[in-house]
Structure 1
Amino acid sequence: MHLDHPETFPQRHTYDRRTRPDGTRRALRVGLGGPVGSGKTATVAALCRALRDRLSIAVVTNDIYTREDADFLLRNAVLPAERITAVETGACPHTAIRDDISANLEAVEELEDRTGPLDLILVESGGDNLTATFSSGLVDAQVFVIDVAAGDDIPRKGGPGVTKADLLVVNKTDLAPYVGSDLAAMARDAKAQRGGLPVAFTSLTAPDGVRPVADWVLERLAAWTAPVPA
């Protein structure tokens, strides 16, 4: 074999994890985690409303023994009922998104089989602590949602959810004056903890308040659907 004759090498085949077993493009999977009450489900609902007219979307929610988050989305009619499914983890929801992801993977694949082709699947964890992370085998990008009412020291405390998520969302900014939270300090601390990773400040009570998150999702989806370099 001569190194100066590249035609002697077999063609390289690049594995593309964006495809399904049948060769079709699978949906971008975005996981949303964060502490109880931070506004994860409200963020999912707002994203569905903002993007459902231009994207084909489905949602998987995680709760320990109930379907409460899925029922909230169904009551608010953010998507057709067949596009929303619930996983009852039976234990800490964190384990179902990081350690044993089988139930969530099954739910995601069933949604794509039933309602596909899909552009986007949102996987919402149940209430987590600051150590929450999603398995890369389950989602392609991670969003971590905190809120100002929990204290403006949360970004400074760090933890994998705050420091490593692809997007950190600081929610309920409209409450800052009433709970004594310093948004400038939260922005400064988040930047120090996250380096160049993005941070979005949201108030879902404002018109189009989820727009910073929706724009980020659209950017991720554009990258996801771009052709793979040869």
Structure 2
Amino acid sequence: MHLDHDTPFQPHHTHSADPHRPDGTRRALRIGLGGPVGSGKTATVAALCRALRDSYALAVVTNDIYTREDAEFLLREAVLPPERITAVETGACPHTAIRDDISANLEAVEDLEESVGPLDLVLVESGGDNLTATFSKGLADAQIFVIDVAGGDDIPRKGGPGVTTADLLVVNKTDLAVHVGSDLARMAADAKEQRGELPVILQSLRSGEGVGPVAAWVREQLTAWRATA
């Protein structure tokens, strides 16, 4: 289930970083994925890699505080060749490395582009954070924020920068709603009220359309990015 998921990428609103490399060629589109611990960010990244890897040159940067756990999960799942997956150990609250001091993530992205050749897309996954997590516009050109039904169906109503301002909100694990007493219709309505025209997608990676609607949204952002860059 998805709401207004075909809203196009708006470069004047969502990014301020130069879309070109120093040599004038187009750099990769950077999409950040943030959200609370356990919301399903890494599973969504893995599913996106599987859905997009045959059509685009892509890579992934993960963020964890003291480990490489998320990167190691992606490596075990073989969603991309190993050289296309790298990790940043933030050593502090996850939002620090995606919003405040983005140097380590920028370096990781640039190293990937240099080492594996020109890329179309880099997915930058934040470490697990709270509803205030946002990406610096100098790091991410667009942001996906992932919440899940097990966190409570009042999460969209509570808002916060991640819920209200992300370019795409994903309400994940909808297959669990019946087991945890979450009202999906209420979550969808509350998200719509908080976000206005910004798109919302309700997702289950275990049933139905899977990551398909989110992958379609990413494809739209890539098409618009190529046109603007």
User: TM-score, with normalisation over the residues of structure 2?
Assistant: 0.91
* Structure 1, unaligned runs of 5 or more: 1-14
- Residue 96 of structure 1, CA deviation: 0.3
Gaps of 5+ in 2: 1-15
State the distance in 2 between where 1:123 and 1:16 align: 15
* 2:98 matched residue in structure 1: 97
Report the equivalent of 2:180: 179
2:20–2:27 Cα contact (<8 Å) kept: yes
Q: 1:4 — aligned with what?
A: none
SS of match in other structure, 1:122:
strand
Match of 1:60 in 2: 61
Identity %: 79
Length-normalised TM-score, structure 1 = 0.91
* Match runs of 1:129-144 below 5 Å: 129-144=130-145
Which residue identity lines up with residue 180 of structure 1 in the other structure?
G
* Pair member with larger Rg: 1
Counterpart residue type for residue 147 of structure 1: D
What letter is aligned with 1:148? V
**Structure-2 separation of matches of 1:115 and 1:169:** 30
Correspondence for 1:32: 33
Indicate the residue corresponding to 1:6 in structure 2. Answer: none
CA distance in 2, matches of 1:168, 1:201: 9
1:63-212 correspondence runs (5 A): 63-206=64-207, 208-212=209-213
- 1:226 is paired with a residue whose SS is helix
Paired with 1:55 and 1:205, the residues of 2 have a C-alpha distance of 24
SS across alignment from 2:143 = strand
Question: Please, what is the CA RMSD of the aligned residues?
Answer: 1.2
User: CA deviation digits over 1:6-43, x for unaligned, max 9?
Assistant: xxxxxxxxx99211111111000000000000000000
Q: Is the 8 A contact 2:144 2:166 kept in 1?
A: yes
Higher relative contact order (CA 8 A, sep 6+): 2
Question: Residues 184 and 208 (structure 1 numbering): CA distance in 2 closer, same or farther, change over 3 Å?
Answer: closer
In structure 1, give the amino acid aligned to 2:54.
D
For residue 206 of structure 1, report the CA deviation from its aligned partner.
2.0
Separation in 1 of the partners of 2:172 and 2:31? 18
